[in-house]
A and B are shown apart, each in its own frame.
Chain A
Amino acid sequence: MKKVINNGNKLKGDILEKYPTKVARKRSKSFVVNDPDNPPEIQANVRTVPGILTQRGCCYAGCKGVVLGPTRDIINLTHGPIGCGFYSWLTRRNQTRTGPEDDNYMTYCFSTDMQDENIVFGGEKKLRQAIQEAYDLFHPKAIAIFSTCPVGLIGDDVHAISREMKEKLGINVFGFSCEGYKGVSQSAGHHIANNQIFKHVVGQNNEEVEGKFKINLLGEYNIGGDSFVIENLLERCGITLVSTYSGNSTIDQFEQSHMADLNCIMCHRSINYVADMMETKFGIPWIKVNFIGADATAKSLRKIAQYFDDKKLMAKVEKVIEEEMVAVEQTIKEVKPRLEGKKVMLFVGGSRAHHYQYLFSEVGMVTVAAGYEFAHRDDYEGRKVLPYIKVDADSRNIEELTVEPDPERYRPRKTEEELKQLEKKGFTLRDYEGMIPEMESGSLVIDDISQYETEVLIEKYKPAVFCAGIKEKYIIQKMGVPLKQLHSYDYGGPFAGFIGAINFFKDIDRMVNTRVWALVKAPWSEEGVEDNCLIDADYVSEVA
């Protein structure tokens, strides 16, 4: 059955009407109706309109919270007033497994707790002392320093202090200029984080890593134990995981990650530059993978096996897929009759809104509207638009590293000929097609959605489930529509791999079909509650 979603343009018009003229003009470019035959251009990674009620966070959140947060043996020290450190003290959602003697600082929150005198006279002295105190107490392998808004304004030089303390203490100390105001979203923070990890950590240890098929997994943060599932699958297939950026990771793994033979990218937005830099500097090719969804996982495992071009590996991969699919198919058979044809909206992250569409489609659910919180145009339209993306003032302020082949360690993993052969067989390297090409005709793609737009979408489309984050959760649920958090997974999961797909299908089945929605209306109440799956014919239709 082909799904065609009608009247997106009418809805768009209805929404924009409410805005002041200038705002409407700006939002209009970030709000497109999909046409796969003639893919639209979307405006993304531009400043949020003040006062619009955005989902977005800041650069610091992307740097400290997303990228560095999940590495367990680094002391992550926030240099700033207490709030930023406190709010990013979220501890266990990025799960990690440690031996009893291993370092694990993920449950701690370290801050310089700057006071007004530090703002007036500078906070460098306090930072230096805080690093010393952290070292004296814990003797960690590494200390990372994160700058918050006021640090950038008063000009504390976190990089100079890091260098100084690195020399003094004899451990790796490095800083991040990830002040909250940099860039327009978390995305700037990912970039700053990755650049510094690349400069200060990657390649510090040239020891060989055992194993025949060695990969890194980039952009996988082990929310709810996702990495554990993927690690297990890879191990059963005989694939060696050198490093994950950065779920369940350690600084030692980053140091050796340049010894891998293939980089596999999960969240394109948070880390694509690291893959490019590692290829240029060390000769490691990269591919896009997706371990969200059973079918997507099978495809990704096959793709890795195809890259290494080894018959035994391919056989092993097929065996693992076959074993795992039994339970997946059984679950799909059970839940599909209750979920098929229902509508989904996803407004999350910078790849998640794309990845989760696979999962929903496996049980026949249709994504009628989706968008990203902090994506760039290539995440929507594919990397082919990279040369056409305009660099504006907010992006220009984020450092771009110039990387060259390492004179000693550059080693192409495949010859040009081998790569050509692979591509001839339909194998795509160094590419990501983005979200739009895979969405239904007429579906809505909205970047940096506002609270108002969200409300209208829900009123008009009545989705069966809405996927977003904690700030949206209770707003949507008050409208009688269940919200699945895809940043924290609502403290469920894992959702990666085959077992993850099963967990997800069961969760969605429970949420969509739970009895509570039928209990919302008091029996004596005159006012009716509309069925939350009802489709407004004006807006959505399906044709065979």
Chain B
Amino acid sequence: MLLRHTSEKIQERKALTINPAKTCQPIGAMYAALGIHGCMPHSHGSQGCCSYHRSTLTRHYKEPVMSGTSSFTEGASVFGGQANLVQAIDNLFTIYDPQVIAVHTTCLSETIGDDIPQIVSKAKDSGKVPEGKHVIHCNTPSYVGSHVTGYANMVKAMVTYFAQNSGDKNETINLICGWVEPSDMREIKRLSQMLNTQIILFPDTSNVLDAPQTGKLQFYPKGGTTVDQLTKAGDSKYSIGLGKFSTEDAAKEMDSRCGVPFSVLDVPIGLSATDRFIMEMAKVTGNKIPDEITDERGRLVDMITDMQQYLYGKRVALWGDPDTIIPLTEFLVDLEMKPVYIVSGTPGKYFEKRITEIAGDRVEGLKVKGGSCADMFLMHQWIKNEPVDLLIGNTYGKYIARDEDIPLLRMGFPIMDRVGHSCFPRVGYNGSMRILEGILGCLMDRLDRDAPEESFELVM
């Protein structure tokens, strides 16, 4: 038993988090920054943060993740990190030649109160920022929010620093993308193309964190939203944020700066959330929904029809990021499964409220918790009291899966022990088919494994 000390008896905890269902802000800022073309993320703090974030992103995406660090030692912690950041900006532009340096803070530089815009203007004044190059920043103290908040803050910074209203509005729709995989971003672009819609998607990590193997290192891969696109986003007709937690702030900022109206939808995971995304796109553009999209939807529904008997009433525990879990819960409810235990370390009352709305009267015994101490230890204790049929979440769930002998579908961040998650989409109708395929695979492998010989079925 790998988690042998996890007991059924639930004791209330106020101070101790065990096996968290979140991590800290800067890693989200680093991931978002990689969705800008030619961008070098930079971590302003001691170098361990940067090292940990690069390692974790690398383990998940299995791709190069570059990022600078201000390498604070004790001196910088006492006297402030200005000299370190100015030197870092000089070195990064001189040695690595990025278009943009995207600085995020850490709990260290936040606690000592370093003023990033002031330091950057110092760097500019002393000629360390070449003509036509940019330094943007966001504040990401690790003791506020979670990795999702950090992502949201960097996405907002993209708007703050770049978006401009030239007064010449066009028909483009801004799609502000929540924290999903590069493959998901590519799928969102494909759907937009089918909907005949001109979009600016940001951030966009496709072709950055799933770059091809060519034998030559592309220090800045060809993907990512360009500075030009981000600038022009201020002239767009409308913004759609995908994921309230990770994009609402950016959408609001775009509206208040450039007067671009917006709506915030769920990430299009599952049937209903994808329906809403497609309809919203059609509504804001006035375009007709093409038959190809209706066909894709129909294929998903067809698959559900075919396999419904294996899904009905199955109990599921899930954990991870609210923007992913909310539409996923809705999808499970649409499938008539029972998402009974749901935790997300990311704080925010909206999460619990929304989950309860979606699942409440359709899932008996729903337990949902967000924020501090909403951890995988608690979820495991719930499972020990009354088991589930399926786990959906990140790699850290494999210990519970093994101890409790429950199948696990890997979804979320980080996934460090499998590949595919960053290559095959899980958004849109096609992506939902892949989630369904995953769920069925898990449940049926289990059925096969447990079946006595006399009832072992060939056709299922």
A→B interface (CB under 8 Å): 18-20, 23, 47-61, 77, 80-89, 91, 100, 103-105, 107-116, 118-119, 126-127, 129-130, 133-134, 136-138, 148-150, 152-154, 179-184, 393-394, 397, 450-452, 455, 469-471, 473-475, 477-480, 520-521, 529-530
On whether the beta carbons of B47 and A474 are closer than 8 Å, the reply is no
Which residue of the partner chain, among B51, B68, B91, contacts A23 with CB atoms under 8 Å? B91
- Those of B51-103 within 8 Å (CB) of chain A: 51-56, 58-59, 62-77, 84-85, 87-92, 94-96
A52 with B23, Cβ < 8 A, contacts A59-B48, A478-B214 known: no
Q: Is B206 an interface residue (CB 8 A)?
A: no
Residues of B within 8 A of A91 (CB): 399
On whether the beta carbons of B20 and A109 are closer than 8 Å, the reply is yes
On whether the beta carbons of A480 and B51 are closer than 8 Å, the reply is no
Residues of A within 8 A of B4 (CB): 104
In the bound assembly, the distance between CA atoms of A50 and B49 in angstroms comes to: 14
Which residue of the partner chain, among A58, A134, A478, contacts B51 with CB atoms under 8 Å? A58
Which residue of the partner chain, among B46, B76, B89, B94, contacts A58 with CB atoms under 8 Å? B46
B→A interface (CB under 8 Å): 1-5, 7, 11, 13-20, 22-27, 42, 45-49, 51-56, 58-59, 62-77, 84-85, 87-92, 94-96, 106-108, 111-112, 141-144, 146, 211, 213-218, 345, 372-373, 377, 396, 399
Known: A109-B18, A112-B15. 6 other contacts (CB 8 A): A18-B95, A20-B90, A51-B70, A82-B17, A150-B107, A480-B216
In the bound assembly, the distance between CA atoms of A325 and B214 in angstroms comes to: 41
A56 with B5, Cβ < 8 A, contacts A129-B15, A133-B11 known: no
On whether the beta carbons of B47 and A20 are closer than 8 Å, the reply is no
On whether the beta carbons of B14 and A87 are closer than 8 Å, the reply is no
On whether the beta carbons of B14 and A129 are closer than 8 Å, the reply is yes
A52 with B214, Cβ < 8 A, contacts A87-B23, A470-B58 known: no
* Nearest CB in chain A: distance from B265 CB, A: 28
In the bound assembly, the distance between CA atoms of A115 and B14 in angstroms comes to: 12
Closest 10 CB pairs of A and B: A58-B48, A83-B24, A51-B88, A51-B91, A81-B142, A87-B52, A50-B88, A480-B215, A129-B15, A149-B108
On whether the beta carbons of A112 and B22 are closer than 8 Å, the reply is no
In the bound assembly, the distance between CA atoms of A113 and B59 in angstroms comes to: 23
Residues of A within 8 A of B5 (CB): 103-105, 108, 137-138
Residues of A within 8 A of B65 (CB): 471
In the bound assembly, the distance between CA atoms of A257 and B372 in angstroms comes to: 39
Residues of A within 8 A of B373 (CB): 113
A49 with B46, Cβ < 8 A, contacts A82-B24, A86-B23 known: no
Residues of A within 8 A of B72 (CB): 181
Name the residue in B4, B19, B65, B95 with the highest tally of chain A Cβ atoms < 10 Å from its Cβ. B95
Residues of B within 8 A of A137 (CB): 5, 7, 11, 16
A83 with B49, Cβ < 8 A, contacts A19-B95, A53-B96, A112-B16 known: yes
In the bound assembly, the distance between CA atoms of A87 and B396 in angstroms comes to: 12
In the bound assembly, the distance between CA atoms of A20 and B88 in angstroms comes to: 11
Closest to A453 in B: B95
On whether the beta carbons of A180 and B74 are closer than 8 Å, the reply is no
On whether the beta carbons of B215 and A521 are closer than 8 Å, the reply is yes
On whether the beta carbons of A470 and B11 are closer than 8 Å, the reply is no
A149 with B71, Cβ < 8 A, contacts A181-B77, A474-B62 known: no
On whether the beta carbons of A81 and B24 are closer than 8 Å, the reply is yes
On whether the beta carbons of A57 and B47 are closer than 8 Å, the reply is yes
In the bound assembly, the distance between CA atoms of A59 and B77 in angstroms comes to: 14
In the bound assembly, the distance between CA atoms of A346 and B386 in angstroms comes to: 50
Name the residue in B65, B91, B377 with the highest tally of chain A Cβ atoms < 10 Å from its Cβ. B91
A136 with B11, Cβ < 8 A, contacts A23-B91, A108-B5 known: yes
On whether the beta carbons of B49 and A133 are closer than 8 Å, the reply is no
Closest to B88 in A: A51
24 A-B pairs whose Cβ atoms sit less than 8 Å apart in the complex? A19-B95, A20-B90, A23-B91, A49-B87, A50-B69, A50-B85, A51-B90, A54-B47, A54-B71, A56-B47, A82-B17, A84-B24, A84-B48, A112-B16, A115-B143, A118-B143, A119-B107, A119-B141, A137-B16, A180-B46, A181-B46, A181-B72, A393-B74, A394-B75
